Amino acid sequence: MPLLLLDLDNTLIDRDAAFRDATAAFLSAQGLPDTDLAWVTTVDAGGRTPRHEVSAALIHRYGSAVPHSAVRALLDTGAADRVVLAPTTREALDRARTGGWTCVIVTNGRTVQQEAKIRNTGLDRLVQGWVVSEAVGSAKPEPGIFHAAAATVALPLPGAWVVGDSPPADIAGADALGLRSVWVANGRAWHEASYRPTHIAADITLAIDHVMSATNRAVQPGGTAGTEIR
């Protein structure tokens, strides 16, 4: 069974949109200016800023005007409560599963928060497994988390594909292990010079479909994986 390793935030789900919605609700509930939305999302940096640093920045900015419990709620459950799974993504995962692929989510983050996103969106019923960095003690791009993902479904890691939106976490991690990868561009251009994805796709649906079609071409008589776009 071919193995497909999929990133969660801003790949399978639009985590940034969910966080913006949660932040807007937080600002409104606390009577804070809605113009602060841009500042909070900049501090958050698409979830790349460590949680404790975002918390410290919010507490420093608002002081006693905002209960610390409200800040914790925003950072712990805000995005997880609002993430949704696009129908097109659900359909793409269904196609992959029907096509014989074993899909495993590989995500950095806190276990409680990331698993809440997976269950709230129904992804737990669409994939065969998942690993979260906090739970396995290894974070992308480290090799350990990718090996843990393969072990979760008792499949070999060599030959797997990696799909994700983060160049340093997903694509560099795949490159270091010699795995094929698809970068989900989300409207961005590729700028890294030291490594490249096997393929660049505009969104997750096109990424999954590319992996399936590329693999099908490779196993057909005369087919070759060397036709991948670089």
Distance (Å, whole) CA 78 – CA 156: 36
Alpha-carbon torsion angle 196, 201, 75, 143, nearest 10: -40
65 Cβ neighbours under 8 A, 6+ residues apart: 30, 32
- Burial (Cβ within 10 Å: 0-12, 13-18, ≥19) of residue 42: exposed
Instruction: Retrieve residue 212's tokens.
Output: 């399936």
Instruction: Retrieve residue 61's tokens.
Output: 């900015």
Neighbours of 202 (CB within 10 A): 11
Respond yes or no on whether the N-terminal peptide bond of residue 156 is cis (omega within 30° of 0): no
Distance (Å, whole) CA 50 – CA 106: 18
Nearest to 69 by CA among 29, 16, 129: 29
pTM for this one? 0.91
Helix, strand, or coil (residue 6): strand
Q: Are strands 199-201 and 180-184 parallel, antiparallel or unpaired?
A: parallel
pLDDT in tens, the chain (230 residues): 899 999 999 999 999 999 999 999 999 999 999 999 999 999 999 998 999 999 999 999 999 999 999 999 999 999 999 999 999 999 999 999 999 999 999 999 999 999 999 999 999 999 999 999 999 999 999 999 999 999 999 999 999 999 999 999 999 999 999 999 999 999 999 999 999 999 999 999 999 999 999 876 654 554 443 334 43
